Amino acid sequence: LRVLVVGATGVIGRAVVSALEGRHEVVPVSHRAGALTLDLADSASIGRLYEKVGAVDAVVCAAGGTRFRPFSELSEEDFRFSLMHKLLGQINLVRLGLRFVAVGGSFTLTSGTLSRRPSPGGAAVSVANAGVEAFVASAAIELPRGIRINAVSPGWVAETLKKLGHRPEGGTPAATVARAYVEAIEGETNGTVIEPGGA
Ligand SMILES: NC(=O)c1ccc[n+]([C@@H]2O[C@H](COP(=O)([O-])OP(=O)(O)OC[C@H]3O[C@@H](n4cnc5c(N)ncnc54)[C@H](OP(=O)(O)O)[C@@H]3O)[C@@H](O)[C@H]2O)c1
C-alpha cells in the first residue's frame, strides 16, 4: 500500500514509519523538515500537499499541536491553537484527501486518552481529542468507496515522558503505539478508537 504519514518526524510518527517500512511504500510528511511539508492549520497547504503526492491507499496523521497548561492559564488563543491544529487540521486532512484515497483505503487519525480521562492542564487537549473521536465516528458512516476511518488514542508515550525528564515506565513504548496504526491500516475496522497497549 502507498501510505502518507503526516507527522513522520515526530515521536509517534517515526515509530509508525519504522513499523510500515518494508511492508508498504511510505510517503513521509512533516511540518518543516524533508521534501514534503504541510501546516495542519493551513488548509491550502494540505490541498497543495495532496496535489503533489497524488493517489494513496492510506493516510495516517500523527501530528496536531495542542496547548497543555493549567485551566486558569489557558487562553482563548490556546484553545483556538489546539482546535485549529489537532481537530480542524485532521478534519481537513480527511476532507481534502478523500478524492486522493483509493477504493477500500483508510484514514487513521490521532486523538489521545485525555478525551475520556481528563487530567489537570489538559482541558484544551481533551476537547480537541474528543472532537477527533466524534468526527471519526460520524465520518465512518458516510465515507464513500469503502474508505475506512479510525483514531488511535495513545496515553503518554514512554519516549515522550523521557524527553520531558520523567520516568518512562508509566508510558507506552512508541513501537507499541505504532502497531495500532498498522492494525488500523491493514485491518477492517471502521469508526473505532484504538487505545494502544490497553492505555
Ligand atoms: N507523545 C505522546 O505522549 C502523545 C500522547 C497522546 C497523544 N499524542 C498525540 O500524538 C500526536 C503526535 O505526537 P508526538 O508526540 O509524536 O509529536 P511530536 O514528537 O511533537 O511530533 C510532531 C510531528 O508533527 C509535525 N508537526 C508539527 N506541527 C505541525 C503542523 N502545524 N502541521 C503539520 N505537521 C506538524 C512535526 O513536524 P516537524 O518535525 O517538521 O516539526 C512532527 O513530525 C499529537 O497529536 C499528540 O497530541 C501524543
Atom of ligand 1 nearest to the CA of 32: 40
Question: pTM for the whole thing?
Answer: 0.98
pLDDT in tens, 134-156: 999 999 999 999 999 999 999 99
Percent of the chain at pLDDT exceeding 90: 97
Model confidence at 57: pLDDT above 90: yes
Confidence of residue 162 (pLDDT cuts 50, 70, 90): very high
pLDDT in the model for residue 199: 47
pLDDT in tens, 109-124: 999 999 999 999 999 9
- What secondary structure does DSSP assign to 137-152, as a single string? HHHHTT-STT-EEEEE
Burial 132-154 (b: 16+ CB within 10 A, else e): bbebbbebbeebeeebbbbbbbb
Given ligand 1 and candidates 4, 6, 12, 135, which is best to mutate, with the most ligand atoms within 8 Å of its CB? 12
State the distance from the centre of ligand 1 to the C-alpha of 7, rounded, in angstroms.
Answer: 6
